[in-house]
Copies of this chain bind each other. A is one copy, B any other.
Amino acid sequence: MKALKIPEATIVRLSVYSRFLEQVDKKGIVTISSGEIAEGVGVSPAQVRKDLAYFGEFGTRGVGYNVKDLLRHTLKILGLNARWPAVVVGAGNLGSALVSYRGFRERGFDIVGVFDNDLTKIGKRLMELEVMATEKIEQIVKQHNVKIGILTVPASSAKDAANLLINAGVKAILNFAPIVLSVPADVEVRDIDLSTRLEILTFHLCLKEMM
C-alpha cells in the first residue's frame, strides 16, 4: 500500500463498491470483473481498477476479482473490520432519526449516546438510549472510546457542541449544521448540508427551464 494521496472521490466510491460487493456476495457470485462492478455502481471500468490499484493488486489478470476477497479488502481499507461507537449531539427530529437509522448499524456504526441541552428532550428514550445533557458527553465518549461525533444541532449551537466533542476526545465529526466548523488539524470534519443538496437540484431545474 503506497503512501500516495488518495482522492476523496475514490474513498466515496470504495464505500459504494463495498456495499455493492455485499449484494453480489449474497447472491453467491464468486468472481467479478471491473466492468461488472462499474456497471453495477455507475462508473467506468478504468475508474474501478484505478481506485482499487491505490491500495494494492487485488485482482487476477484475465480473470477478475474474487468477490469475498475484494469485499474484505474494501471493508478493511475503510476501517470497517471493526465496529465504531459514535455519539449524536442534538436530539431533534434529525438526530432522533439518525439514532434509529438502520444503515449505520449495518455498516458497523453503533450510536452509544445522544445528547441535547433542551430540558424537554433530556430523559426521552430513543431506541435503547436515553437523551442526556451535553455535560455527559465527555463521560460517555471516554467510557466507550468514541472517535466519531454526529452533529445535528441548530447552526447557533454547532460551534459549542463541536467543542464539547473535541474536548472529550472525538476525532471525526459528521456535521449537519449549515456552518463552517473550525477545528484542530487532527480532527476530520465532513458536512452534510441537506438544503444545499436540494439547491443543486433547483439550480438544474432552473437551467433546464431556460432552454
Interface residues of A (CB under 8 A from B): 8, 11-12, 14-16, 19, 40-42, 77-80, 84, 86, 92-94, 96-98, 100-101, 103-104, 106-107, 109, 147-148, 150, 171-174, 178, 180, 182, 186, 188, 190, 192-206, 208
Contacts and interface: CB of A to CB of B under 8 A. Distances in A.
Nearest to A186: B208
A15 B79 contact: no
Contacts of A8: 200
A184 to B, nearest CB: 12
A118 B84 CA distance: 31
A78 B172 contact: no
A178 to B, nearest CB: 6
Most B C-beta atoms less than 10 A away, residue of A15, A19, A180? A15
B79 A206 contact: yes
A10 B174 CA distance: 22
B202 A78 contact: yes
B11 A200 contact: yes
Nearest to A171: B205
A204 B178 contact: no
B199 A15 contact: yes
A106 B155 CA distance: 13
A150 B19 CA distance: 22
Contacts of A199: 11, 14-15, 78-80, 107
5 contacts: A11-B203, A42-B182, A103-B194, A104-B198, A171-B208
B201 A172 contact: yes
